[in-house]
Amino acid sequence: MAQPLRLDGIAYGGDYNPEQWPEEVWAEDVALMREAGVNLVSLGIFSWARLEPRPGEFDFGWLDRVIALLHAGGIAVDLATPTAAPPAWFQRAHPHVRPVTEDGRTLGYGARQTYCPSSPEYAAAAARITRELAARYAGHPAIVLWHIHNEYGCHVARCYCERSAAAFCDWLTDRYKTVEALNEAWGTSFWGQRYGDFAEVDVPRAAPTAVNPAQQLDFRRFSSDALLALYRAERDIVRAADPDVPITTNFMAGLSDNLDYWAWAREVDVVATDHYLSAERPDNQIGLALSADLTRSLAGGAPWLLMEHSTSAVNWQPRNIAKRPGELARNSLAHVARGADGVLFFQWRASRSGAEKYHSAMLPHAGTDTRVWREVVDLGARLRELAALRGSRVDARVAVVWDWESRWALDLEFRPSVELDFRERIDAYYERLWRAGVTVDFVHPGADLSRYRLVVAPSMYVTTAAWAENLRTWVRSGGTLLTSYFTGIVDENDAVHPGGYPGALRDVLGVRTEEFLPLRKDEKTRLVAPPRMDGADAAPGTAGRWAEDLALDGASAVLQHADGPAAGRPAVTRHRFGDGTAWYVATAPDPGTLDAVLRAALADAGVRTPSGLPDGVERVRRADAEGRSWEVVINHTAADATVPTPSGPLPVPAGTVRVLAPGPSGSVGSPTDD
């Protein structure tokens, strides 16, 4: 079993690409890293062509010298396998390995990730460079972490070439065993799609109209598994050579929907993720918090690493908005507040050439006489002051269900409305919880829910019988469940549950939907309390996107539609089920109404929300096994704020972060700094 990361304090640094610079720059880099407080860099991520300039010919001398310089400077190394960027010689030797799109276009060389995940030639070449790298650097005292590949599935998540088709056929054979079972699962009697042999099945290429949704869903599963197999192959080579050093790969939790990270998280020693802000969103700190909470949840609550984020502007958004003064620290410490034990950036020194030369860096093009550099140095000093926080955890009593398979299935064609959007509903509920100061975990629908008081399922479209029973048992034993529309509708094969909507959760929710009534674009309905309101102290409001011809089957109506296609029908219901309570929100309420409904559900669950927390101020607690706790308070607004604490009012000036460190008794005490 790999040992924990051998670092004192919180990891701080970023991607280091010395091969982009003359060797005389390297010593300057190490000196400036020490000035900034850097203690960890990711090395070698895109250096395959430099390490193996010709097939089977290796050049490690330059990497030996870089690692030696870093080690002498007290900087640890996260050493990467460079397999995200196959060399030009590999592409020339194996042109058929280039990925093919859904509509049959073969992608060219000149970027990165230019390979088919099912290519045996790529797998063999990746294994060769990984084996050489691991053999050379196993046991090196500078290396505290191995980093496999980079951002799997970021650019090429699915390939539609003939190699992929053959591999998909093998995957289906392993999953279903018989073609009869596949036909049953996919419902191939519809449109006469029945198969007589697995070899007749193709990948879901562009077709005259919608391809079988079960086939598309399985292809998403297969594609995630194909990339995971590549990761495992490299990981196992490294593990055999260097069994005591932890291994990771960088996820893109909350940003990419291409991989089932619940499955991937079981395969890494340390969960790591990359996060980049949607720069033009004024409230992008909420998306940042969501990504951090999701990453912590993938880690099972354990500390995790922020492997990449930006000091300022990125290079790939429509408008690459620069971060304002103080934003670098707010972003970084928000990740730390939500469980990160490491803050790393892409990248250390800004590149002069290539596609990302306008991406910000710890050391900008303008050098050290810059605001960004000064903020980088200040953050390094602050993280050193917070070293004792390392290893502590975030505790949550509210969970939000997140399932990549539901996200994939909702992306498919011919749904009742184009406004059925997995992230839109997740984000709507998460934002209200964030603004209420409620810290949440994300959970797989089959997870153990016993530690949570409230579970929110905003977009659980795919609901297997086992997942439904998991929720049913938990509510019956006293849990409070809140679900939104289009939840519980289909099984793992995208087949509608028999008996009517909301499918697998009808009995738990105590309602029955006769017909979906999606609303027109921008159409709104008025929400009012029924004659006898039961449960929520919610003022009348409005709703959009969705309505249902909903009938009560044991539940009580909390709000109903006053007009529109569902006039007089329930819009929000509450149902006592066993010892618990289940809420159903059968529409998309305005933020104020949703806030009131959520607060009522929180009250049902016995979850108290923080009092006196100003809007736009974030407050998260971490605690360790010894009973010590820290609170991180972040003011994301342009106005000064005051937050109540056990020691009295805490001033939090506009745009600043205050950290309340443990007092003598171990509980939260005084702020460590301003």
Residues labelled as active-site residues = 151, 308
SS3 167: helix
3-state helix, strand, coil in the chain (%, to 5): 35, 20, 45
The 8-class DSSP code of residue 51 comes to H
Burial class (CB in 10 A: 0-12, 13-18, 19+), 659: buried
Is 554:575 a contact under the CB 8 Å cutoff? Answer: yes
How many whole angstroms separate alpha carbon 64 and alpha carbon 493?
Answer: 51
Distance set, CA 35 to CA 23, 38, 74, 479, 511 (Å)? 20, 8, 12, 51, 62
Is the C-alpha dihedral spanning 547, 552, 556, 562 positive or negative?
Answer: positive
How many whole angstroms separate alpha carbon 487 and alpha carbon 584?
10
What's phi and psi for 401, nearest 5 deg?
-75, 130
Q: In what side-by-side order are the strands of the sheet with 657-662?
A: 393-394, 617-623, 629-635, 657-662, 668-671
Strands of 268-392, DSSP E = 272-274, 304-308, 340-345
Q: Which of 296, 302, 382, 315 is nearest to 355 (CA)?
A: 315
User: What angle do the packed helices 162-176 and 213-241 form, to 10 degrees?
Assistant: 90
Report the interhelical angle of 213-241 vs 179-186 (nearest 10°). Answer: 120
Whole-angstrom distance, CA of residue 289 vs CA of residue 294: 8
Q: Is the peptide bond before 216 cis (omega within 30 degrees of 0)?
A: no
CA distance 287 to 615: 16
Residue 548 pairs in a beta bridge with 516
Assigned token pair, 465: 């019988």
Residues belonging to the chain:
674
Here the tokens at position 377 are: 């140095």
Cβ atoms within 10 Å, residue 317 = 13
Cα→Cα distances 219→226, 362, 409, 490, Å: 10, 40, 11, 17
Task: Answer whether 181's CB lies under 8 Å from 197's CB.
Answer: no
Helix (H, G, I), strand (E, B) or coil at 629: strand
- What is the SS3 string spanning 507-546? HHHCEEEEEECCCCCCCEEEEECCCCCCCCCCCCEEEECC
Q: Which of 584, 618, 181 is nearest to 433 (CA)?
A: 618
CB 386 within 8 A of CB 362: no
Q: Answer yes or no: are the C-beta atoms of 540 and 437 closer than 8 Å.
A: no
| Structure-block tokens of residue 576 | 């006592």
